[in-house]
Amino acid sequence: MLDNLETLALKALRRLRVALILSLTIMTPAMATDLDHEVVFHIKSQRLDSALLEFSRQANTPVAFAAKSIGSLITPGLDGKYPARTALSALLCNSGLVYTQVGDTVTVVPTSSERNIQPCRTSSDVTHRD
């Protein structure tokens, strides 16, 4: 019974997280999402959903994603100064997910076979500025 309650609580938390991110996207239409701006990121290795929330906070960029599509993926993290688009791509590397941007909305979605996806760069390939 306790396991069932924990499962229900986790599902509710995931739905709340998605709703919060989507509401941030809706509530900040005046904020232009410029993924080329450079940011000093300090994102530790953690679950990808938590890393995306941290990316959103540090880059001041709303990011929408469905917790179900992310599952329990882990990201190696990111530390240094990067353009926001480079940082987001690095966090999503090897996850089977990509991001799309339409106007001020950045959305993380599963990779489709029709997309022309470039191989992701390793941390040694990503140039950061201190």
CATH numbers and ranges of domains, the chain? 2-110 (3.55.50.30)
Whether residue 6 is predicted with pLDDT greater than 50 in this model: the reply is yes
Q: How high is the pLDDT of residue 31?
A: 47
Q: What are phi and psi of 5, to 5 degrees?
A: -65, -40
Across the chain, mean pLDDT equals 78
- For the cut 70, the answer to whether the pLDDT of residue 39 exceeds it is yes
- Name beta bridge partners: 43: 78
pLDDT in tens, 49-65: 999 999 999 999 999 99
**Residue 58 CB-half CA count within 13 A:** 23
* pTM (predicted TM-score): 0.66
Q: Which residue has the higher pLDDT, 57 or 14?
A: 57
Residues 30, 58: Cα–Cα separation, whole Å: 18
Q: What is the pLDDT of residue 118?
A: 53
Helix (H, G, I), strand (E, B) or coil at 46: strand
Residue 125 has pLDDT above 70, yes or no: no
